[in-house]
């Protein structure tokens, strides 16, 4: 359907307001706030002198005048043609008052000599104006003249509250950021992401203000990710909300990098301007999300109705606790942690401190549990089809899906902050990257679309080796990458063997695992090829990690045994062979990594 004239006007008004915010950032970044010391004229003239700062400041004023005209025109058109649409008329009229207040504050800022409080208030009012015109534009696309409002397009009832809360948190972050800029506290810390080399610095004065800003930014990032996940995983998701929240997530990721560039460039004009422009854009997108979500709420389904997803039973505390623990897939967590401690021992060349090992394992377990719980939420439809997974908490209706998602997300947030405080930021970031990769790349993208799903997705399971190394050294060295590669190459033959055993389940669920798409013969051949690559990769650690006889002998024996079992699977079509190889692969990984730790502790001759 083509856009109406009012919709076009609303878009132009919103875009012009956002541009005004960006130019305001340029004024601040270049120190041009007093480029025209008078107001509304510039040096007593309507045409400014051809001077750098005067031109920038005057361009800002000119654009502000254009925005005033557009906002007034928008209100007039809304009042005359859309008077019955209160959701459009009211914010359109309110925008006139906000833009006039903003213009008046602009004059106060200049005449007051850039006073901190007034400058922060000027920016806050600009964000309020942007919010109001965004609401007008969003509602203009939800309400077409001559058509009834669209309701109940499909999202969960709690989403509007989450969207509004996220937008409010971003608003608070913007206000604090405005005070950071007004106070000149942008370089209170000259490092990033740490602050004076610490996660919690010595506070006082500008340092406190900047610390609050960074903590708020971290909390907002958690909310933005959560909002995007909720929008994308809603049972009857709205394409509009998915697009908006995904855009907000991408923009916030870019904003984090630009924030770092502010520090690295020592508040260079391009970085500061981009930071302000992105702030306004993120704010506008989230306001639009909150606005649209109020129009896209599916009515709550009464308990016991056909659409109710629970079975109406409440288990005991013990049963509920057991169900939540089962969500985290404890057996997979054990397998992941097997690779963490040996990497730590190899990095230290002796046993690290028990506290560091315990903290890393706990943080890693929380991260793995987070990824697995979210995976259970996303794959609950598949799990209900497959015999192997039907008894998991969600297919068996022992936990509400939304609570399972919230549980997984909370585990991920706790794991990041715990690892960042108790271990280091690099280890925390690596663990967080593994969660994101497993959820977004493997579960949400590749698992249902590509036969290479487990090949690429195996990277998430290999990250714990990097986390262990980073926990000890604060870096990721070449031996850590070899350990990562071992787990990465080990994953396909390990999982394909299991997939062969449950080939019928994957076929029924529509998951394109290799045995389903290319058959058992090709799967056996691929398992053999990967076992050979795994053998070679395990031997690569000998020169790179300066390993001794203990590891070398173990790698040779276990690698040969793995290849022999894969060769046996390739030659024989016995139904029992795949599960035998699957079980041996677990033993292989455990013994191989145990030999890494033993070799690093026990003195022995190294192979060089």
Per-residue pLDDT of 448-504, as tens digits, reads 899 999 999 889 999 999 999 999 999 999 999 999 999 999 999 999 999 998 888
Per-residue exposure over 346-359, b if at least 16 CB sit within 10 Å of its own CB, e if not: bbbeeebeeebbeb
210, 211, 212, 216 alpha-carbon torsion, rounded to 10°? 100
Q: What residues does 198 pair with on adjacent strands?
A: 195
The whole-number pLDDT of residue 114 equals 53
Long-range contacts of 145-150 (CB under 8 A, 24+ apart): 145/4, 145/81, 145/82, 149/295, 150/295, 150/296
Count of CB atoms situated within 10 Å of the CB of 388: 12
In the predicted structure, residue 591 carries a pLDDT above the cut 90: yes
- Classify 49 as helix, strand or coil: coil
Cα separation, 400 vs 378, whole angstroms: 13
Average pLDDT over residues 3-22: 91
> In terms of Cα–Cα distance, which of 565, 564, 559 is closest to 489?
559
| Among candidate residues 441, 450, 455, the one with its CA nearest the CA of residue 512 | 450
Query: How far are the Cα atoms of 65, 98, 455, 457 from residue 487, in angstroms, in the given order?
Result: 61, 58, 11, 11
Specify the long-range contacts of residues 193-197, CB closer than 8 Å, at least 24 apart: 193/260, 193/425, 194/425
Mean pLDDT for 561-578 is 87
Longest dimension (CA), the chain: 93
Q: What is the mean pLDDT of the chain?
A: 85
Q: How far apart are CA 272 and CA 288, in angstroms?
A: 25
Angular region, 503: left φ>0, alpha ψ -120 to 50, beta rest: alpha
- The pLDDT, as a whole number, for residue 336 is 77
Q: What percent of the chain has pLDDT over 90?
A: 46
Q: Which residue has the higher pLDDT, 561 or 405?
A: 561
Q: How far apart are CA 531 and CA 547, in angstroms?
A: 21
pLDDT range class, residue 304, cuts 50, 70, 90: very low
Lowest-confidence pick of 192-201, 230-239, 372-381: 230-239
Q: Hey, what's the torsion of the CAs at 600, 606, 607, 608, to 10 degrees? A: 110
Average pLDDT (357-365) is 94
CB atoms within 10 A of CB 197: 8
Please report the pLDDT score of residue 229 as a whole number.
83
Please compute the mean of the pLDDT values over residues 38-54 and round it to a whole number: 69
Q: Is the pLDDT at 39 greater than 70, yes or no?
A: no
Overall average pLDDT of the 121-135 stretch: 91
Measured distance CA(593)–CA(608) in Å, rounded:
20
DSSP annotation of 114: S
In the predicted model, is pLDDT for residue 147 greater than 70? no
Angle at 232 between CA 425 and CA 14, to 5 degrees: 90
Contact 17, 67 (CB under 8 A): yes
pLDDT value for 28: 80
Minimum mean pLDDT range among 144-153, 186-195, 314-323, 408-417? 144-153
Most confident of 307-321, 327-341, 508-522: 508-522
Cβ(39)–Cβ(110) below 8 Å: yes
Whether omega for the bond prior to residue 607 falls within 30 degrees of 0, making it cis, is no
Are residues 286 and 163 in contact, defined by beta-carbon separation less than 8 angstroms?
yes
DSSP line for 244-265: HHHHHHHHHHHHHHHHHHHHHT
Per the document, the length of the chain is 608
Q: Confirm if 167 and 287 have CB atoms less than 8 A apart.
A: yes
Residue 119 to residue 182: CA distance in whole angstroms: 6
Helices (H), 82-158: 86-111, 116-142
Tens-place pLDDT, residues 271-293: 989 999 999 999 999 999 999 88
Burial class (CB in 10 A: 0-12, 13-18, 19+), 453: buried
For 506-515, what is the mean pLDDT?
Answer: 90
d(C-alpha 317, C-alpha 267), whole Å? 53
Measured CA distances, 303 to 310, 338, 405 (Å): 8, 44, 20
State yes or no: pLDDT of 193 exceeds 60: yes
What was the pLDDT predicted at 301?
A: 43
Model confidence over 382-439: pLDDT tens digits? Answer: 888 888 888 889 998 889 888 898 899 899 989 998 998 899 989 999 999 999 899 9
Phi, psi of 198 (to 5 degrees): -130, 160
- Whole-number pLDDT of residue 267: 86
165 sits in which H/E element: helix 159-183
pLDDT tens string 329-342: 888 888 777 899 99
Position 59 confidence tier, pLDDT thresholds 50, 70, 90: confident
Distance CA 205, CA 185 (A): 9
Cα–Cα nearest to 193, from 175, 211, 207? 211
State the pLDDT confidence band at 299, using cuts at 50, 70 and 90.
Answer: very low
Residue 606, SS3? strand
Tell how far CA 285 is from the center of its chain.
Answer: 16
Q: Map residue 199 onto helix, strand or coil.
A: coil
- Residue 16 neighbours by CB distance under 10 Å: 18
Measured distance CA(60)–CA(65) in Å, rounded = 9
């Amino acid at each position: 359907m083509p856009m109406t004239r009012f919709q076009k006007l609303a878009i132009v008004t919103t875009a012009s307001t956002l541009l005004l915010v960006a130019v305001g950032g340029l004024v601040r970044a270049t120190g041009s706030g007093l480029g025209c010391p008078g107001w509304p004229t510039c040096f007593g003239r309507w045409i400014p002198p051809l001077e750098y700062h005067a031109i920038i400041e005057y361009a800002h004023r000119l654009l502000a005048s254009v925005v005033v005209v557009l906002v007034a025109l928008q209100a007039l058109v809304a009042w005359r043609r859309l008077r019955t649409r209160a959701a459009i008329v009211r914010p359109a009229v309110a925008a006139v008052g906000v833009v006039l207040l903003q213009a008046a504050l602009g004059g106060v800022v200049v005449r007051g000599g850039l006073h901190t409080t007034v400058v922060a208030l000027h920016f806050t009012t600009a964000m309020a104006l942007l919010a109001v015109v965004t609401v007008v534009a969003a509602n203009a696309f939800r309400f077409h003249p001559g058509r009834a409002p669209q309701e109940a397009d499909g999202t969960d009832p709690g989403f509007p509250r989450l969207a509004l809360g996220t937008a409010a948190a971003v608003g608070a972050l913007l206000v604090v950021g405005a005070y950071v800029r007004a106070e000149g506290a942008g370089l209170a810390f000259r490092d990033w992401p740490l602050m004076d080399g610490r996660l919690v610095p010595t506070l006082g004065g500008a340092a406190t203000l900047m610390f609050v800003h960074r903590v708020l930014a971290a909390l907002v990032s958690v909310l933005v990710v959560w909002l995007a996940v909720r929008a994308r995983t809603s049972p009857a998701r709205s394409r509009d909300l998915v697009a908006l929240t995904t855009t907000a997530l991408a923009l916030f990721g870019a904003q984090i990098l630009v924030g770092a560039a502010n520090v690295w460039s020592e508040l260079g004009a391009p970085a500061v301007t981009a930071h302000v422009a992105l702030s306004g854009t993120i704010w506008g997108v989230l306001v639009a999300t909150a606005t649209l979500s109020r129009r896209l709420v599916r009515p709550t389904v009464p308990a016991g109705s056909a659409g109710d997803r629970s079975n109406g039973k409440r288990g005991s505390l013990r049963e509920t606790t057991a169900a939540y623990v089962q969500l985290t897939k404890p057996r997979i967590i054990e397998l992941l942690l097997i690779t963490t401690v040996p990497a730590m021992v190899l990095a230290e060349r002796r046993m690290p401190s028990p506290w560091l090992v315990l903290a890393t394992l706990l943080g890693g377990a929380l991260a793995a549990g987070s990824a697995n719980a979210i995976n259970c939420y996303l794959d609950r439809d598949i799990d209900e089809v497959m015999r192997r997974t039907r008894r998991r908490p969600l297919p068996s209706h022992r936990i509400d899906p939304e609570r399972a998602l919230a549980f997984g997300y909370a585990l991920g947030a706790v794991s990041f902050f715990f690892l960042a405080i108790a271990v280091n930021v690099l280890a925390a970031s690596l663990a967080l990257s593994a969660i994101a990769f497993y959820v977004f790349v493997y579960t949400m993208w590749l698992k249902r679309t590509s036969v290479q799903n487990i090949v690429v997705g195996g990277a998430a399971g290999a990250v714990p080796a990097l986390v262990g190394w980073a926990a000890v050294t604060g870096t990721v060295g070449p031996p850590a990458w070899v350990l990562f590669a071992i787990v990465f190459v080990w994953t396909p033959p390990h999982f394909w063997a299991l997939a062969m055993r449950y080939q019928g389940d994957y076929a029924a669920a529509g998951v394109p695992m290799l045995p389903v798409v290319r058959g058992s013969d090709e799967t056996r051949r691929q398992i053999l090829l990967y076992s050979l690559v795994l053998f070679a990769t395990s031997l690569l650690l000998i020169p790179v990690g300066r390993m001794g006889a203990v590891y070398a002998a173990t790698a040779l024996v276990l690698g040969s045994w793995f290849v022999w079992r894969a060769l046996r699977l390739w030659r024989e079509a016995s139904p029992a062979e795949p599960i035998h190889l699957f079980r041996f692969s677990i033993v292989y990984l455990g013994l191989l990594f145990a030999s890494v730790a033993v070799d690093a502790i026990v003195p022995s001759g190294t192979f060089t």
